[in-house]
Amino acid sequence: MSLDSLLALLQAAIVFGTVILFGSVGEILTEKSGNLNLGVPGIMYLGGIAGLVGAFFYEMNNPNPVPILCLVIALGCAIAAAVAGAAIFGLLTITLRANQNVAGLTLTIFSGGVANFFGGSLNRLAGGVGQISVSATSAVFRANIPVLRDIPIVGKLLFSHGFMVYLSLILAFAVSWFLKRTSVGLNLRAVGENPATADAAGINVTKYKYLATCIGGGITGLGGLYYVMDYIKGTWANDYTIESLGWLAVALVIFASWRPTRAIWGAYLFGVLFWLYLYINGLSRGTKELFKMLPYVVTIGWLIIVSLRRSRENQPPASLGLSYFREER
């Protein structure tokens, strides 16, 4: 493999990894409150489509869109929709105590429908033809610094990305710091480990669960936005990629043992594994499909290793997946 193709592989891996990194960091925050939200793909769908729709209407009504407004509108819509999706999940599981797996899967079904419906037919509903596309907003999301970008090797690897790549890293470190170093983060972890004890200690369990779920959802939604604006450059594709990336983000949470900083290199590793087939010569089309299994196979392998080792620090939050009802202690 030449240096150029190695660089190209790493670059593609970072783009791929960023989508699932957002998803994972958000889900880690949610799961630390004891909520296993299997609606991650759904929330990513919502974030992606809302950002796209917001930008679409802005660009349609303004022939000369202002870059900063494009950015704010897309980000705002994406986060609002993602938080709304997470809030539905919260309402069902926290207040109405529904089963978390079932509520999460339903959220994924619903959001997948919403996103693909609007992504596929919005342009026609608005009176246009063909595919929805937001080139101006996408350009803002993909903008990078020319001087730094042109540095050989390092520039291509580190500075050729849109700002959301760096935002995902900042968020990963911030969430890690929040969970480990702040008292609010400690409270949150207490809620996830043992809500009854946390409740007895005077922590408002319901509030913590709602906030963690909604904020986590907001971060997860950014993954969908990044996918739409950067990965596929401001259009929509009804090909279920967001869904499979969303499930990979859920897998990455386990792979990272609920640690956001570990999710960073995990995400890029998944990216390398996913794109590897492009850089191996002489593969037939069928074999390429087999290669795309790699991230999933690696996750299963890791799951097995973790369960074999049973080390205490790699375990999920103790109350993960259970709803909490004060009177049933």
Partner 1 sequence: MKQKLKEHKEPFVRIAKRVKIEWWKAWGIRGIALVGALLVCAAIIYAVVALNPLQVYKAMFEGAFGTNKRLWVTIRDMMMLLCIGVGLAPAFKMRFWNIGAEGQILAGAIASAACMIYLGTLPGILLLLVMFLCSAVAGGLWGLFPGVFKAKWNTNETLFTLMMNYIALQLVAFFVALWENPRGSNKVGIINPNTRAGWFPPLFGQDYALNVILVLALAAIMFLYLKYSKQGYEIAVVGESENTARYAGIRVPSVVIRTMTISGAVCGIAGFLVVSGASHTISISSAGGRGFTAIIVAWLAKFNTFVMILIAGLLVFLEKGAIEIASRFDLNNFVSQMIMGILLFFIIGCEFFIQYELKFRDKKHKEAQA
Instruction: Give the binding site for partner 1 (CB under 8 A).
Output: 36, 38, 88, 91-92, 95-99, 101-103, 105-117, 120-121, 124-125, 238, 244, 247, 250-251, 254, 284-287, 289-290, 292-293, 296-297, 299-300, 303-304, 307-308, 316, 325, 327-328
Cα angle 92, 33, 227 (rounded to 5 degrees) comes to 80
CB 297, min distance to partner 1, A: 7
Nearer to partner 1, 62 or 241 (CB): 241
Considering the complex, state which of residue 75 and residue 88 has its C-beta at the smaller distance from partner 1. Answer: 88
Q: Which is nearer to partner 1, 171 or 320 (CB)?
A: 320
Q: Tell me, what DSSP letter sits at residue 317?
A: P
Question: Residue 171 or residue 248: which is nearer to partner 1 going by CB?
Answer: 248
Nearer to partner 1, 265 or 325 (CB): 325
Could you tell me the CA-to-CA distances from 191 to 35, 49, 153, 224 in Å, in that order?
Answer: 10, 32, 45, 28
Token pair for 305: 């290793």
Minimal distance, residue 34 CB to partner 1, in Å: 15
Give dist(CA 221, CA 45) in Å, integer: 7
Spatial separation of the C-alpha atoms in residues 145 and 231, rounded to whole Å: 18
Calpha distance 311→259 (Å, rounded): 14
